[in-house]
Amino acid sequence: MTSCIFCDILFGIAPASFIQRDDLCAAFMDIRPVNPGHVLVVPHAHAALVSELDAVSIGHMLQVAQRVDVALRASGIKCEGVNLIISDGAVAGQEVPHVHLHVIPRFRGDGHHFRFSPAYFTKTPASELGKNAESLAEWNVAIGMKPDDANFYINMGSVLQKLGKTDESQEAFKKAATLNPASAGMGFYNRAAILTGPGRVPAGARSRRPGGSCPTTSAASPPTAWWAR
């Protein structure tokens, strides 16, 4: 057993009702469905937060979820609409610290509702929207490639290994070990568990003070391997 129920399911240690599995992720039934037909799409790479998951896996998850969405609507399971939800962090409702995408069939009168605080109904001034957009746009550029984050290379190494690209996966793990020596000499799932605990902030973000200016130069020298394109 590992300390992660989703890793246990993906390794075959714990049971689940699978819909599909491939090199990058799996889709299986939620054991506590919001509505019948509730599916979880889970990447093989163990990452607690969306920010820690490699770009290939996160993109593939949505493609799998699209197929599940279509299947639900065609299956005869009661489904008049679908919620696609990722709860990213405990405060956002994430219960298992391994990224997962909920695909939830919905129908009129199913009794489930999102609830918003009264603040939601107050119109935000354009000046505040603009200020937030400017800040996020700067961060978006600065952390886009995350070249200084060992997690990026660990997760990518695990993906490459599953694809049979041994040399390239070893290169990715070596790069991770260079960035964080604590990740060297261990199995990749263990390394990922050490480096991707709940609530972890990307390395690039930790180096900057909240509210401070956002140096875009930190995104220099991005990796040139195929997985970075």
Site for Zn ion contains 7 (CB under 5 A): yes
Q: Could you tell me the smallest distance in angstroms from the CB atom of residue 175 to Zn ion?
A: 22
Site for Zn ion contains 191 (CB under 5 A): no
Q: Could you tell me the smallest distance in angstroms from the CB atom of residue 140 to Zn ion?
A: 27
Paired strand residues for 129: none
Active-site residue, 100 included: yes
Q: Which of 46, 100, 112, 113 is catalytic?
A: 100
Dihedral of the alpha carbons of 95, 34, 61, 20, in degrees to the nearest 10 = 110
- Measured from the CB atom, the residue of 4 and 159 that comes closer to Zn ion is 4
Query: Residue 19 has which token pair?
Result: 């819909």
Distance CA 11, CA 5 (A): 10
CA-derived radius of gyration, the chain: 19
Query: Residue 204 has which token pair?
Result: 């690039």
With CB under 5 A as the contact rule, which of the stretches 6-14, 67-75, 114-122, 151-159 interacts with Zn ion? 6-14
Spell out, one character per residue from 76 to 115, where the chain touches Zn ion: x when CB under 5 A holds, - when not.
Answer: ----------------------x-----------------
Distance CA 10, CA 57 (A): 15
Binding site for Zn ion (CB under 5 A): 4, 6-7, 46, 98
